[in-house]
Amino acid sequence: MPRPIISPSVLASDFGKLTIECKRMINGGAEWLHMDVMDGHFVPNITIGPPVLSCVARSIPGIFMDCHMMVEHPEKWVGDIAAAGGSLYCFHIEATSDPLSLIKAIHDKNMRAGVAISPDTPSTAITGEIGAAADMLLVMTVYPGRGGQKFLDRCVPKVAELRARFPDKDIEVDGGVGPKTVHSCAEAGSNVIVAGTAIFHADNPEEVITALKNAVVT
């Protein structure tokens, strides 16, 4: 089982002081920063894109940006996200007909490749070949599109199915995850925990990061 990684979702942060918030997360024990890129097409919302990511990367050298691409035509943004300093490019399998070529394009730009599945997509959409080529698999535990939604328990079995098939891969959960819901995800085999509201709206975000990290079964 790969090591525990906490990836706070900056969507729940105060964008007016984004770089300060990111630094606080890293100093508080977060290893990655989860950057939710939404295009207003794949999901109804629009959030941030390459200009904002490059600003964060310039302010925090060495930062690991876990870019969750909730976009149509994910192949279109690989170059721009890489140039902006993206470390991991996670696309939705629902948004592409050629995931293997996309994974190769991401690797060619020296980023790690992630493959996300929305709540209604079965884990079998990630075939053996796709899972083997990817570096990370993301099981959404809410419908992509906005923060602060209720965790969907019914998505957890997909984590266990993927962990059984891909014992060495990073498996991320995203959506409604916090100190109460993290345990079922961790027991199912998730090692990369995304949390937005639970971290940024807490009185003590650093304590929440530690609690989430300790919940991951190693």
**Is 108 annotated as contributing to ligand binding?**
no
User: Taking CB under 6 A as the rule, does residue 194 contact ligand DX5?
Assistant: yes
Type of residue numbered 116: A
Question: Counting contacts by CB under 6 A, is residue 36 touching ligand DX5?
Answer: yes
79 is in an annotated binding site: no
Cβ 167 to ligand DX5 shortest distance, Å: 25
Integer angstrom CA distances of residue 38 from 150, 189, 201:
19, 27, 21
**Closer to Zn ion by Cβ: residue 37 or 160:** 37
User: In this structure, what DSSP letter does residue 45 have?
Assistant: -
**Residue 9 annotated as binding site:** yes
Decide if 174 is catalytic.
Answer: yes
**Residues 6+ positions from 21 with CB-CB distance below 8 Å:** 10, 13, 14, 200
Question: Shortest approach of ligand DX5 to residue 34 CB, angstroms?
Answer: 6
Binding-site size, ligand DX5 (CB under 6 A): 22
Beta strands 136-140; 170-174: pairing state = parallel
Residue 131 counted as an annotated binding residue: no
When asked if residue 121 is in the footprint of ligand DX5 (CB under 6 A), the reply is no
Q: Pick the catalytic residue: 39, 66, 170, 174?
A: 174
DSSP string, 9-38: BGGGS-GGGHHHHHHHHHHTT---EEEEEE
Please indicate whether residue 120 is annotated as part of the active site: no
CA 213 to CA 75: how far, in whole Å? 32
**Residues assigned a catalytic role:** 36, 174
Binding region for substrate:
9, 68, 145-148, 176, 196-197
